Structure 1
Amino acid sequence: MTTATRIPAGIDAAALGELTKDGNGPRLLDVRTPGEFRTVHIPGAHNVPLDTLREHRAELLHHLDEDTVLICRSGARAARAEQALSDAGLPDLRVLEGGMVAWEAAEGPVTRGAARWELERQVRLIAGSIVLVSGLVALAVPGVGLAATAVGAGLTFAALTNTCAMGTVLARLPYNRGPRADIASVIAALRSRP
């Protein structure tokens, strides 16, 4: 049995900016990697990477409500987080449309840390490098061009399913991981909110 893909409720950057300008806005859960979060995030956001959120969603359910906005770079991971929480029994969360890209374009306030390459940029570098090198080597060694075909097939699958296996693997590298999200601290912060 297949289920239809649900489109999560969204909120645009301007509307979220209005809700957060007095400091009493919705809860903000940023589901990007700790490295991405440390580079730039919305003040007051809690970092719960997508994998951690999936692992601890039962614990998080008791501390979240529809007054929660999920954030990632572009909206795709936040939509997957929303689906995971909805499947666990917490429907009606909102996703920041366009993610941090839209937030920064709207000149929303951010907290910046050390600059790092975003996960998407890392994926483009690795995929492009594989295609470039295999294309060049294929000029001399027949069959090596199949690596480029495999990368192309993977990128096509990633686009069609709105997932990215290469991004998932890269997210696990030390460069992107940083300190593991302390779910107990996040829950304590969510609990202390009025």
Structure 2
Amino acid sequence: MRLSIFPLTGAILFPELQLPLHIFEPRYRAMVGDALARDRLIGMIQPSDTVESAPLYDVGCVGKIADVETSEDGLYNIVLTGISRFRVVREIEVTTPFRQVEAELIADPDEEFLTLGERASFEHEARKFADMQGYAIDWDSVSRLDDVALINGVSQIAPFDSAAKQALLEAPNLRERCDLLVQLMEFFGRGDPDDDRVTLQ
């Protein structure tokens, strides 16, 4: 499929989750306007560097504009709902101010779940991580989340660097993503308390 992309370092989106975005740059305002006129789809993907037109990582997530607000000065506040992960086949030469790629969708395994032991181990590590960060968490609500919503949700919002977030997005299944999250939280627990980001680099 042909996909307009929003390269944004540190921001990842997972299927069935939501990502709010404030769109102010003219090229991305044009991208949102184009998406609203067509299929409402935007590909969220991380660039591999912060320089202009940096190469892209291989994997991103297609999001559908589920909600949009437009201000008088032409800015957008949108909410994307994740549809499917995708893999970049190639970047397309375009005349639009925003970048576009040819992409293939990645089918995630059906009915993924963790064992009771894996779930308990993850929640234990997550509680330690949250306490260390000073996060106030409603653990009763967390316990009611299904495994996919829990693991993907934490992966999306965790304060890890771009390489770590990308590794989480590219994990082939829920169990491997859960294992990686636990490793990252354990690593952070052993790190410098003055550092506020985890790195895989």
TM-score by length of 2: 0.29
More contact order relative to length (CA 8 Å, sep ≥ 6):
1
Larger Cα-atom Rg: 1
Give 1 or 2: higher helix fraction: 1
Task: Name the one with the larger strand percent.
Answer: 2
